[in-house]
Chain A
């Protein structure tokens, strides 16, 4: 099955730095979602985007739905230790994100002391 192209694969940053990651697809999606997964847990929804061009924030997180509907990015400002984890983008062909999701391979965020 198709997987999204997510980059970077991993990031090593200092606490307090801003983080940016993105996701691209050869297909058009009607919903883009960003999840975070920690060891031994399932993915947790961070932000859902439903409209091309939409820019949505959730605290220090900001995500955008690309106008071509083939890409999305996630920014994290002023990173803190609890931001460590794997971030996944996911696309859905349905408007509400309720059909089976197509996931990227993840961006592993590591914060150096």
Chain B
């Protein structure tokens, strides 16, 4: 069974630029999560989808971050405009409904 796929693996941008990350969950997993992991800390949930609906986006900075999962499979997380403090690893995870989460390898974002 293929794992959670994410791209790109690395991205370097300048502040005030825009960036987008893509995630393809494990086949059959209805629930998808985006986490932000700042260096030296544990992951922090940004948004949770079930199919194409948002379950929890209470910690998503909505003035600059947006996410969508239009067909209930792939998802895109966007930052516009990026700030220096957005430098982090962005992790995508997926799960069957009510089951444990499996993480992708992450996208490492550096904002200069």
Contact = CB atoms under 8 A, between A and B. Distances in A.
Interface residues on B, range: 20 to 34
A59 interface: no
Contacts of B56: 99-100
A42 B93 contact: yes
Interface stretch (B13-21, B71-79, B80-88, B99-107): B99-107
Nearest to A43: B103
Given A1-B59, A42-B91, A42-B104, A98 B42 contact: no
Contacts, number: 69
Interface residues of A, number: 28
A76 interface: no
A98 B45 contact: no
Interface in A26-63: 33, 35, 40-45, 48
